[in-house]
Structure 1
Amino acid sequence: MTLPSPDTPLYSHPLPEIEQWLRLQGCTQDEKQLHYWYLNKDSWEAEIYLDTDQIVVVYIEAGNEGQDIQRAFKYSLTRQDIEKAIFFGP
């Protein structure tokens, strides 16, 4: 399966392609709640939630005082923009 060009809005990607993209970024899918994904990097970790109109990211204990940081990105953004926003960390 080949992904569309990086400048394609995420809403133009079929769900299997979004799932493939998340796997390529190192994410693992929750076995019971398939719309939840997890990402562990060396210096941070995140939970990713595929909502109906946006992708939501929660960076675990990434705030100044150890609180979680949550961000949401509309599917109308390009895959490249979302990738830069999510996978470079909190």
Structure 2
Amino acid sequence: MTDLGAYRDQAEPCLWDLRQPLWSARIELDVEELKVSWEHGGNVTVRLFPYGLSRADVESAILAGP
């Protein structure tokens, strides 16, 4: 996650924050999947990604934004 520019939440090590100029994302490493919640203009979009996806696909999806 640090390669993407995300920062780990000190209180919750399974949570990461990623800030971009037009949106922000909260990334949660869950037991069975990766949950990404994007915030853009007051709207929140949530997507779940199974761990079976390739790292490159997940990173591309996260960086594509909401």
**What TM-score comes out, normalization by structure 2 length?**
0.92
Equivalent position to 1:80, from 56, 60, 63: 56
Q: How does 1:1-80 map to 2 (within 5 A)?
A: 22-60=1-39, 62=40, 66-80=42-56
Amino acid aligned to 1:34: P
User: Structure 1, residues 12-42: CA drift from partner, whole Å, max 9, x if none?
Assistant: xxxxxxxxxx001000000010000000001
| Bigger proportion of residues as helix | 1
**Higher Rg of the two aligned structures:** 1
**Higher relative contact order by CA 8 Å / sep ≥ 6: 1 or 2?**
1
CA drift of 1:59 comes to 0.5
Runs of 4+ in 1 over 6 A off after TM superposition: none
Amino acid aligned to 2:13: L
- Helix, strand or coil: the match of 1:72? strand
Amino acid aligned to 1:23: T
| Bigger proportion of residues as strand | 2
**What TM-score comes out, normalization by structure 1 length?**
0.69
Identical-residue share of aligned pairs (%): 35
Can you give the 5+ residue segments of structure 1 that lack an aligned partner in the other structure? 1-21
Q: How many residues align?
A: 66
RMSD, matched Cα: 1.1
